[in-house]
Amino acid sequence: MQDKHLILIISAISTCDKPLAYTPTRSAFTHQQRFEQSLRTIENIKLHIPNAYIVFVEGTCISTEMIDLIKERVDFFYPAYEDSIVYEHVNGEHKGMGEASSILSYLKSSHFNTINEDCLSITKISGRYYPCQGFTWEYFQDGLLCHIKFDNPHHSTRIWMSTMFYTVGYKSIPLYIKSLEECINNQELQNGIAFEHVLPNCFKNNNIKIIQKIPFHVGGEYGPWGGYVEH
């Protein structure tokens, strides 16, 4: 894999009727809806990001048929649910722990170790979202490009960041991994504070250069009733 942009699609498709009870928004979708959203994410990544090397990170056990269809469309399928820590966190009380541990599990895997020297960047995108009209691709070698703002009136020092999509340049990848490790062990995340608040503070603690971009033009449904969000 030479000069590729690694795209991590972080998903938690579930084959039960009410998946991920701790997050009602995502649980409201059926497993078929989640699967179709993930396929849309894959296709839009291929359209909008040149030299994309797509790794699909799945946090819950899914059917063989779903796995086969995903494998046909991506460069690598990573069954994060086979990692006992990921399985525990995904099925635990707090969504952020499941997401953080899924990403970290892949970045510590043997597969990533074989390709990391060829990665120009790592992009994380949530499985329900996709690049839409107006999206333009860019990355920075020595920083992290994301949608971020300081708008929490109750916690003025706590950053809010959309974790639906962000990109880390290759010079910052080691610090990114270190930040995720710190995030997993962060008491606030373990107590249920949103991943969107805890992760950017970990980035700051590890001196990652944060570049803000507004808007990103990455969007997707947040509820089957027609709710839609775009950053």
Report pLDDT digits (tens) over 117-173: 999 999 999 888 999 989 999 999 999 999 887 666 666 667 788 899 999 999 999
pLDDT at 192 over 90: no
Query: Which pLDDT belongs to residue 44?
Result: 95
CA distance 86 to 100: 9
Angle at 14 between CA 194 and CA 60, to 5 degrees: 70
Second-level CATH architecture of 4-230: Alpha-Beta Complex (3.90)
Residue 12 · residue 31 · CB < 8 Å: no
**Assessment of whether the complete model's pTM goes beyond 0.85:** yes
